[in-house]
Amino acid sequence: MARIIKPRKSNFTVVVIIDGEDEKWYLEKVKEHYRPDILRKIKVEPALAQKKKVAELFVEAEKQVKAGSSKVVLIVDFDDIGKSDKELSEFKKWYAWYQNVNNGNTKKHAWMEHLELIVNSPCIEFWYLLHFRKTTKYYPNFQSMHHDLTAIPMLSDYEKTNIYYMKRPNIFLRLGGDDGLKQARKNAIPFNIEYCQNQGISERNRLFDFFDSLKL
């Protein structure tokens, strides 16, 4: 389990890197409702999120650390990674380096001391399911879970569009607001590289654990 670096009270900067537009839309609504006094100071990169390859995401995280960010949170969805042997192999390489650093081996890739890696499998929508139920059901992609997701009354018309995320009630409120978030955090499932291709996973609770630790 990755350790959380305690924030300094001054000159502490946080960057959250996501690999999809829906991640950005969700975080923007979270920032409106959850600790807005703190989260409005967090930068989400890239501003117009686009899917990137594994190496590009980690290189972007390294760039942000070396540019002076105190903490970089990298959120990775496993839907595209899991269907490509090359991308899966690349992820395992970077993840091994990340684990080594968190085990105290900082001689190489020391920048990862400032990295918090968070994984969804297959995608952010699995996190949404956890607001309503505890499950480890495996879905290879968003399409395979669409039926279960839209069976939830508050998400019956769910779409991966900016219009859907922004309309009232917005996505944070549709997920049950603070109560729904509390349930999702309770139901969260930690990432395990051995089970990532046969079990649904979301450890996004760690993102909110980190938010809770911030005193900017």
Q: Please, what's the b/e burial string for 94-128 (b: 16 or more CB within 10 A of its CB; e: otherwise)?
A: bbeebeebbeeeeeebebbebbbbbbbbbbbbbbb
- 3-state DSSP call for residue 150? helix
Whether 5 maps to a domain, the answer reads: no
Alpha carbons within 13 A on the beta-carbon side of 71: 27
Distance (Å, whole) CA 118 – CA 112: 13
In a domain? residue 6: no
Is residue 81 one of the residues assigned to a domain?
yes
Domain assignment of residue 2, yes or no: no
Kindly tell me if the per-residue pLDDT of 4 is higher than 50.
no
> Across the chain, what does the average pLDDT equal?
89
pLDDT in tens, 77-88: 999 898 899 999
Give the whole-angstrom CA distance, residue 9 versus residue 117. 22
Q: Is the distance from CB of 126 to CB of 202 less than 8 angstroms?
A: yes
Q: How many domains does the structure of the chain reveal?
A: 1
Question: Which amino acid type is present at position 210?
Answer: F
Residues spanned by the domain of 188: 14-213
What pTM, to 2 d.p., does this model score? Answer: 0.90
Q: Is residue 4 part of a domain?
A: no
pLDDT in tens, 109-132: 999 999 999 999 999 999 999 999
Q: Per-residue pLDDT averaged across 168-189, rounded?
A: 96
The answer to whether position 156 is within a domain reads: yes
Residue 51 pLDDT greater than 90, yes or no: no
Mean pLDDT of the 10-28 span = 85
Residue 11 is predicted with a pLDDT of 66
49-64: average pLDDT: 88
Asked, for residue 3, whether it belongs to a domain, the answer is no
